[in-house]
Chain A
Amino acid sequence: MSENPENPYLPRPMRIVRITVESSTRDTRTFELEWVNPEDGRAFLYLPGQFAELSVLGSGEAPISITSSPTQPNLQFCIKRMGVVTTAIHYMKEGDTLGVRGPYGNTFPLDLFKGKNILFIAGGIGLAPLRSVINYMLDDSHRKDYKDITILYGARTPGDLLFKYDLKAWGERPDVAYLETVDRAAAGYAGRVGFVPALLDQTAPKPKDTVAITCGPPIMIKYVLKSLTELGFPPEMIITTLEMRMKCGIGKCGRCNIGKYYVCIDGPVFSYAQLQKMPKEY
């Protein structure tokens, strides 16, 4: 029969060029990577929302969302130390090599977003995948495609606010409304205290011509979906991303199966309208 297909399970080597410690507890770091073989990079064409399988030989693979924007030169992954692989990655130093395969999954519906007001609602490390699309939209080449951009971001403590350099830049931009909150204040913090859904209720954005994009811990998403619905956002205009345990990333291993969907190929980006039709198994 026909010739053998390409092996989809082989990771391609990437070198760590920069590690940024993101949280005061040091358990969340952003790893900036460059391709060891430039041709691998040319084949790796991604859009915001997609993820990759990160591979540490001897430890295994973990699916991690891409936090950089394709408008940026290198790939970035924001990783919280959780299991075997993420722990192994945290032990790595700048100059070390890890494996990457992907990009996998669908992308944020950028066509749907065009010409609309965009409302981002993120909690904790849930900002990582949204940061990709935020920086994509804020890039000079794309900013004109979108109307008002509002970013609501919250974390448990001020020390848990990630990407502080980006938060500062967004806060300073006249064409972005950036609001942040923390669950618990800390010494020297003068900002807002309260949960993200409460901030959303206070802000009370208008649903007209607006798409809401949310990502964060499951409990936050639950209340954000409720608030957005009460504010009048139709479920088609609420976009979120799902997290499931994954292995293959290519729709074979069955692990991230929810109803007829595989989060790794049909997701991770879903609209609330889609979620409502899915079994509540996430």
Chain B
Amino acid sequence: MDIQSEIQKIAARLLKNKEVAMVIGYGAGSAPNRTAPVFIDKEKDVGKLVFNRFCVNNLSLYLPRLKEKGKIAIVAKPCDVRTIVCLIQEKQIERDKVHIISFACPGLLEKDGKTLFASCAECAVTLPPVYDTLSGEAKEMERNEPFTDRVADFFSKMPAERWEMFKAEMEKCIRCYACRNACPMCYCEECFVERSLPRWIGEGSEVTDTMIFHIVRAIHTAGRCGECGACARACPMDVNLAPLAKQIREDMLNLFHHQAGVDPNAPAALETFKPDDYNDFIK
């Protein structure tokens, strides 16, 4: 059975048995090669659930805001499951209030229907770290050159050149905050960019303000980013946000031996202190 049919079957069963109040999944989009989030609370509507290689959103962003509805089932890619794990670690949701419908992920495609998304091409997590039901078979995906090389390439450049690359990328940003709002880990009630007393950064698209927004967001997601790439896919201006996130991922791994969202029983990175933690920055 294909993944879509399996998801529909699981959703029907969960709703029929009243095991969950709602299933959050992907539905048909309004144009080819697109999907849209759907919220199903009746068994008869499970036919609306689709699965294809355009399921670009990380639906776990809806979990905290819908938790008062009761237990919720969610269709989640393995990378999305990593953010669910982080949300559980950070007490935003409870493990027994979410039913994770996951699958072995074939990777997502760009709207052209051919190109594998960069974040998917680099992804090693084809199976979810935790789940309640699993469908599909894990397949080896085609891979682009490993990402670490791209970061290495960026860091092999002279600082002035790196600055220009970063600035050029930041100048594309229109400060619509689609990246932040598409990110399940950006659940702050009030984001620092919107604070007015004190005001941390200017509101407009001045490039230095934009840089501060992206740098602070990246640092705020250190050790919490499941690398799902939903932020980059949400960006209307195609700003390449991956290098920031990926470098922080590397730092977390190399300096603190922490990988976000792989072990629901492990504490969150910022909650732990080990005597041998990297502390060279304290002088």
Contacts and interface: CB of A to CB of B under 8 A. Distances in A.
In-complex A–B contact (CB below 8 Å)? yes
Interface of A: 83-84, 87
A87 B197 CA distance: 10
B91 interface: no
Contacts of B197: 83-84, 87
Interface of B: 196-197, 199
A238 B199 CA distance: 40
A84 B197 CA distance: 6
Nearest to A85: B196
6 contacts: A83-B196, A83-B197, A84-B196, A84-B197, A84-B199, A87-B197
A185 B199 CA distance: 39
Contacts of B196: 83-84
Contacts of A83: 196-197
Contacts of B199: 84
Contacts of A87: 197
B200 to A, nearest CB: 13
Contacts of A84: 196-197, 199
A16 to B, nearest CB: 22
Nearest to B196: A84
A87 B198 CA distance: 12
B192 to A, nearest CB: 15
A87 B199 CA distance: 14
A59 to B, nearest CB: 9
Nearest to B197: A84
A85 to B, nearest CB: 9
A84 B194 CA distance: 13
A27 B118 CA distance: 55
A33 B149 CA distance: 65
A227 to B, nearest CB: 35
A187 B197 CA distance: 35
Nearest to A60: B196
A89 B196 CA distance: 15
A7 to B, nearest CB: 20
A84 B199 CA distance: 9
A83 B196 CA distance: 8
B193 to A, nearest CB: 15
Nearest to B198: A84
A83 B199 CA distance: 11
A-B pairs, top 6 by smallest CB distance, nearest first, are A84-B196, A84-B197, A83-B196, A83-B197, A87-B197, A84-B199
B69 to A, nearest CB: 26
A84 B203 CA distance: 15
A76 to B, nearest CB: 26
Nearest to A84: B196
A83 B197 CA distance: 8
B190 to A, nearest CB: 14
